[in-house]
Structure 1
């Protein structure tokens, strides 16, 4: 798999700098931040995908128009809210309007937010794998018939063939191993070195079974980051993403960090009831320590350096900080110090 300039993805020793932008802001505003991120040296920008925010693909189209080189993709979309064939077409459209810069971030989605829509996250590992397998065939110009966790009959895309890298959003052992065996990269839903070290072991097992024709593989920490001049401000801004991470964390992850499971359950219950304010208020300091990189530029740089012992790069995940432009610049500086 190659970059738009023809270089192999994963072929450079330089860590990848990624950023997640959340379309809680209007698309034009997100595009401004993407342009700023590109000027600060970021390699790839993901638009987060939640039903309660603006459409990620609309945001990505605006981001494409505001940038020239940075790669762009959903981060991560799930194949439950939208049919996988439709997702393949949307990703191919972003590839077209960005002149070949698209990436496809796909995962099983947040169980709590899917439950708000009455969606059962059934067979997530198989659903994700089938989604990007079918997408690759569609991007190659094939007509696809598929019967599995979803159905497609004689489906094809009225678009030029494309080669789009697939990054799987993963946290659990099976999804991590599957991504290492089949995808082009993984977005590890973790910020703490303890979690990243464990994830690296799972990825190594998957890579041991990876077919040679799949080429290089890139492991990125999709880390919630909040950075500001004042540490207290940065930690306060971290509450929303930490709530979603903690609310969806598996029991072994909670145990790994010795976080109070009752406190995690309280966050999860508030999310499932759609009470976001209560969920954010129930986030505890140990949750922020475990599930986010939050603090000043110096603190964040130290955490980035520790994370890079186990991954090929870092996606600076939402919220970034209380001031977006300042946070993007500070995150870039922290990455520069760490690398």
Structure 2
């Protein structure tokens, strides 16, 4: 199916929100380029590759996608300062920005599940702040040095190659008050991963406000990005059943992070017990519709567009449709581009009950 025409200039995109795709780094070489070309044809604005533990490092798919596209922004969401040193992070974002002719962004977060590989995560907000400081000093060619509580940069230390830009935009991945306040101070965007809940948007904006005020800038300068598991299909019930199974695997984490969700503790406990026993489909069947819709985009194109539109109406700068996209990855990307995206580019979509 053909994609709707997409403009080549940022001015051709809707001012109120960007629409992005989030990809897991679990695919063979060549697949990323094909998906990226298709997404750009259809008019998506941003392509993200997750930096999840034990998957391919995101730089590989990002470089492949950079070579296959001309317009979309590209970045990892997210790298972390515990498993990768700041100088290496600076090098990777510089490489992506060069390969994409200035379309890169950098995502930083504390990281998850690093205990499985024996990596502790002390003082995460300090580590994130200082990591960003070192990365951007290196990108700017600032040789004055830096002495922090976690990271240092000796005076005279500099990258030994030319960078395309000294300031690719920074995204901070965070849900909590301290992480959001840090984003309010230093980031262009904050990403709340695993949420499709419009009620979280004003919560995050208030959490950004303290940091933005400390930095002396308007809170509106920091774009709010919400992204979550996405499963779209013409068979809406099949899509929602698959999404339930996906959400079951992280419900115990995100339910506690969202102060507006009110997910019953006994439901979380029963879902978690089934997931721990390897009964993922059974765990998913316990998740009711209202809970599913807070933590996933799931159903027919019209249902998925309605949930995304609710986030846009709540004031997000970007909606990110995450893996697995559909009952198959390629089919999901096609349907998002040909059936969901056109609805979001037109008149507001009525939110479905």
- Pick the TM interval, shorter chain: 0.7 to 0.9
Separation in 1 of the partners of 2:281 and 2:127?
30
- Please state if 1:336 is matched with 2:342: yes
Alignment of 1:92-241 (within 5 A): 92-110=94-112, 113-143=113-143, 144-154=145-155, 155-161=157-163, 162=165, 163-189=167-193, 190-212=195-217, 216-239=221-244, 241=246
Question: Structure 2 CA distance, aligned partners of 1:142 and 1:43?
Answer: 32
Residue in 1 that maps onto 2:264: 260
Partner of 1:314: 319
Question: What RMSD in Å do the two structures reach over aligned CA positions?
Answer: 3.0
Change over 3 Å in CA distance of 1:150–1:282 after alignment to 2: farther
Change in 2 beyond 3 A, CA 1:129/1:236:
farther
Q: Deviations over 1:2-53 (max 9, x none)?
A: xxx9989xx9724111111111112321221111111111111111112321
The Cα shift of 1:242 comes to: 2.3
Offset of residue 104 of structure 1: 0.3
Contact kept, 8 Å, 1:200 with 1:310, in 2: the verdict is no
| Matching residue of 1:26 | 28
The answer (yes or no) to whether the contact 1:169–1:188 under 8 Å persists in 2 is: yes
CA separation of 1:242 and 1:156: change in aligned 2, threshold 3 A = farther
- Structure 2 unaligned blocks of 5 or more: 1-7, 346-353
Cα separation, 1, equivalents of 2:39 and 2:71: 11
Following superposition of structure 1 onto structure 2, how do residues 39-54 of structure 1 map, counting pairs within 5 Å?
39-54=41-56
Aligned length: 327
Deviations 1:270-297 (A, max 9, x none): 98xxx69556753442453331121110
The answer to whether the Cα contact below 8 Å between 1:142 and 1:156 also exists between their aligned partners in 2 is: yes
TM-score by length of 2: 0.82
Aligned to 1:37: 39
Which has the larger displacement, 256-265 or 220-229?
A: 256-265
Q: Where does 1:71-90 land on structure 2 (aligned, <5 Å)? A: 71-90=73-92
Deviation at 1:238, TM superposition (A): 2.4
**Which residue of 1 is the match for residue 350 of structure 2?**
none
Q: Secondary structure of 2:227's match?
A: strand
* CA–CA distance in structure 2, aligned partners of residues 89 and 269 of structure 1: 42
2:303 is the alignment partner of 1:299 = yes
Change (3 A) 1:183 1:244: farther
1:57 aligns with 2:59: yes
Q: 1:6 to 1:108 in 2, by over 3 A?
A: farther
Q: Deviations over 1:186-214 (max 9, x none)?
A: 11222111222322332344433333499
Question: Matches of 1:328 and 1:25 in 2, distance apart?
Answer: 14
Change (3 A) 1:292 1:57: same
Cα separation, 1, equivalents of 2:245 and 2:36: 21
